[in-house]
Amino acid sequence: MLRKLCLIVLALALISVFAVSAQDEPQYAGLDQDLSGITIKMANIGGGQYEAMYESISIFEEATGATVEIVALLDGFSMDQKLKVDFATGAADYDVAWDHTSFVAQYTPFLLPLQDYFSDDELAPFSPAILDAATIDGNLYLIPRHADISPIHYRADLYSDEAIAAAYMDATGEALTPPTNLEQIDRQARFFVENGHSTLGYTLAGKEEALTGRFYEMHFASGGSLFDENYEPTFNDEIGVAVAELLAGWYADGIIPSDTTSLLWDGVAQYFCNNDVAIKLEWYGWYAYFQDADSCAVAGNFGLARGFTGLSIGGDAVRPSGWAGAHAFSVPATAPNPEAGVQLIKFLASERVAYEEAALGFLPTRGDVWDRVIADASGAENPLDRERLELARIQVGEDFKTPPLIAEWIPFSNIFYPHLQAVILGDVSAQDGLDAAAAETREMMADAGYYD
Amino acid sequence: MATDSNAPTDKAPAQTRFIEVSRIEAGFFPFAMISPAVILILLVVGFPLLYSLYVSFTPYELLKPNSLNFTTARALRNYQKLLNDEVFWRSLWNTIVFLAVTVNLSYALSMALSQLLARVTAGQSLLRTLLMVPMMFAPILVGMQFRWFFNANVGLVNNFLISVGLIQEQGQIAWLVDVPLGMISIMIASIWMNIPVLTIILLAGTLSLPAETFEAAEVDGASGWQKFRFITFPLLAPFSYIALTIMSLDIARAFDIVRIMTDGGPARRTEMLWTYITRLAIEDTKFGLGSAMSWITVSLSVLFTLYFFRQLVKARIVR
């Protein structure tokens, strides 16, 4: 009898241990419905690491009985084109679509609001800042997948050299530490170039939405705003002019590359990879590339710091930069099986799938996944692996800021960036260039019905 | 006279009816035979063209279906807007400069190449095959290739200039940024792509010219330049106009090159009608405005082509 009792106690103890350890594992979601016979169509982003997530779909199919058909796997800008055409022609016959916080505002008339399909408990793990960016006019249109934001990247050798630090102290009267604001970046970048310590002081993407976004970020960090509450353009204020003049000065003095206005993300990253740049703001997503010693000279020779605060001209309104975006899932209003699509999204955005994707280097959007990936990085050989994640969590949580959530963001960008390029290249003054951009933007916004 | 011979007579009413029916059938039959092709062309080409003309008179935006609405009051708004748009005029000017320089330089270089090739006695077919190589590349690949050549940081041209000591590493030339280097870089890529087809046409023309004329000129003591100036060049005129017409119609293929190399930038320095239309219609989804601009572009292209056709006809008459 006593022996039997002991066995029962032992069995119960083992069960509870297994139960606790099972709870400690990241969990799937969205597997609790019978979707037998339903085919869920999905149009999603493809290429590279993006597609690793879709391998887990077989688990969803097995558990629910649904069949998932991926009808499109395109890069982000191609997906944007496809969605626009499909929405306009009523051909969006899929249940789950890729989406992005920078693009969603233009799609909202064609998307299903999702707030009624997700409970508060299901939404609680997601970053509130990202959910805010996914909510337009009180409707939640996106369920976040992963995010990105930019920290300062700096060449570590420049900041660890005592001779350079002493020379900098002599020249400026301040200690050489990784910069925290735009004025410091300006001083340090110029010092490094003028004294031959670095070929270039800074780099940034110089065309298309990438340039508009970087300006927005510097302007925002300096206390400015692209538009006022009535959507009147305000980027040509004194803060905007100061930011544009800073960029033009950098170009004229060789602080940024001579082909800046031709550069997009890959070109900018290449300069840093070559060890030619002292400081830059760069997306976290490039980390693995920069740390690859086979590809990049800068591998093992850079540090990260939180995004800069802006120019002091902004006074008390100066704040950390934080132009950010999140890849996400949405459901078209014309989806044949919206409920089944929502179930698939619950699965793909679940803690388990998000954790597996974060392990590839993407920044998660869920708090529970952040805890796990930071704990995993504790044992990493390079301490920067963990520092990076801790810093990213702070930035995504506190600094995440999307561009204005208006459908005219891309048309606005297409008006704005050529004028800013003209300023940078010295074709026009900062004030004239931004004034011209503001006048064209106002006309475009008036046509779109923003003003009475 | 045919009317008289076919006039009905009392003697042969049945034969007359047969002849009349045959005439009607003979008149109708060819049209019936080509009607499927005509209907197909009208559906595939005519309808979209007319529809885009209609769209050009509306404020249609792709993601605003209700904006596809014609109103007399704003019918000409898109055209008015474009005529007052500084960027439109700039892109039009850039396009004209690009066309003029690219077409003429391509023609001149192709003419020179074709004359050299015509004189090659051994391995001409191998040279002709090699000449065709650029034609095997899609324009988008040509654009990517030349973008890399002219890249300021890792490009072939700057690295070559650095290696031979013509420029310093810090003084890299921003080929795709500076004025007029950006436009020149695009033109070089486009000319590289155009030369093979033009050279082949001109070479075919040169080889078909009558040898007696040249022999007579040689007897008269004409120099090589005089033979080219007074015999080859005028006799090649029909071939030249055909080549130039094909090229002026085909030049829009340069869109891919421009799109990849500079995308009209920076600061609209290389903006052309094609890149501006794409920006307005595809990226900004302003289909109404984009259609209006496309119609202006097509009209200009048609005028340009008509001019070449007239010159071609004149050249054939002279010959």
Return the CATH number at A363: 3.40.190.10
Same domain, A387 and A429: no
Residue range A234-252: average pLDDT? 98
Instruction: Say if A34 falls within a structural domain.
Output: yes
| Res A13 pLDDT > 70 | no
Instruction: Verify whether the Cβ–Cβ distance B153 to A421 is below 8 Å.
Output: no
Please state whether beta strands A39-45 and A67-74 pair in parallel, antiparallel, or not at all (unpaired).
parallel
Q: Please, which residues 224-283 of chain A have a Cβ atom closer than 8 Å to chain B?
A: 254, 257-262, 267, 270-271, 274
**Does the predicted interface ipTM exceed a cut of 0.85?**
no
3-state secondary structure at position A452: coil
Instruction: Provide the domain limits for residue A349.
Output: 24-147+325-397
- Nearest-CB residue to A257 (from B59, B63, B153): B153
DSSP letter at A181 equals B
Instruction: Say if A15 falls within a structural domain.
Output: no
Same domain, A99 and A231: no
In chain B, which residues fall in CATH 1.10.3720.10? 78-318
Same domain, A125 and A68: yes
Same domain, A255 and A302: yes
Q: Which helix (H) or strand (E) element contains residue B198?
A: helix B181-207
What pLDDT is stored for residue A20 in this prediction?
45
Do A71 and A41 form a contact (C-beta atoms < 8 A)? yes
- Least-confidence region, from A50-59, B72-81, B240-249: B240-249
- Nearest-CB residue to B283 (from A414, A419, A421): A414
d(CA A321, CA A241) in angstroms, rounded, equals 18
Is B86 in the A-facing interface, judged by CB distances under 8 Å?
no
Instruction: Verify whether the Cβ–Cβ distance A410 to B284 is below 8 Å.
Output: yes
Same domain, A130 and A114: yes
Same domain, A52 and A124: yes
Q: Please, which residues 55-74 of chain B have a Cβ atom closer than 8 Å to chain A?
A: 59, 62-63, 65
- Nearest-CB residue to B267 (from A81, A84, A421): A421
- Nearest-CB residue to B267 (from A84, A107, A418): A418
Q: Which residues of B touch A271 (CB under 8 A)?
A: 153
| Res A12 pLDDT > 60 | no
3-state secondary structure at position B90: helix
Instruction: Verify whether the Cβ–Cβ distance B267 to A206 is below 8 Å.
Output: no
| Phi (first) and psi of residue A147, to 5 degrees | -125, 170
Same domain, A296 and A429: yes
Q: Which residues of A touch B167 (CB under 8 A)?
A: none
Residue range A168-186: average pLDDT? 97
What pLDDT is stored for residue B7 in this prediction?
46
Instruction: Say if A427 falls within a structural domain.
Output: yes
Same domain, A244 and A385: no
Tell me the Cα Rg of chain A: 25
Instruction: Verify whether the Cβ–Cβ distance A258 to B172 is below 8 Å.
Output: yes
Mean pLDDT of chain B: 87
Question: Tens digits of per-residue pLDDT, A63-96?
Answer: 999 999 999 999 888 899 899 999 999 999 999 9
Q: How many interface pairs between A and B have CB atoms less than 8 angstroms apart?
A: 81
Instruction: Say if A345 falls within a structural domain.
Output: yes
The shortest C-alpha distance from B267 to chain A (Å) reads: 4
- Which amino acid appears at position B76 of this protein? L
Same domain, A217 and A301: yes
d(CA B114, CA A391) in angstroms, rounded, equals 64
The shortest C-alpha distance from B238 to chain A (Å) reads: 42
Instruction: Say if A7 falls within a structural domain.
Output: no
The shortest C-alpha distance from A210 to chain B (Å) reads: 13
Torsion of CA B210, B213, B216, B218, to 10 degrees: -90
Q: Is the peptide bond before B59 cis (omega within 30 degrees of 0)?
A: no
- Looking at the domain B78-318, which fold is it? MetI-like fold (1.10.3720)
d(CA A131, CA A327) in angstroms, rounded, equals 12
Same domain, A67 and A116: yes
Same domain, A307 and A351: no
d(CA A303, CA A153) in angstroms, rounded, equals 6
Q: Which residues of A touch B153 (CB under 8 A)?
A: 257, 259, 267, 270-271, 274
Question: Tens digits of per-residue pLDDT, A389-410?
Answer: 999 999 999 999 999 989 999 9
What pLDDT is stored for residue B128 in this prediction?
85
- Least-confidence region, from A1-10, A24-33, B81-90: A1-10
- Least-confidence region, from A160-164, A183-187, B168-172, B207-211: B168-172
For residue A413, what is the nearest residue in chain B, using CA coordinates? B284
Residue labelled with tokens 């097509």: B298
Same domain, A435 and A297: yes
Instruction: Say if A76 falls within a structural domain.
Output: yes
Count how many domains chain A has: 2
| Res A309 pLDDT > 50 | yes
Q: Please, which residues 88-117 of chain A have a Cβ atom closer than 8 Å to chain B?
A: 88, 106-107, 109-110
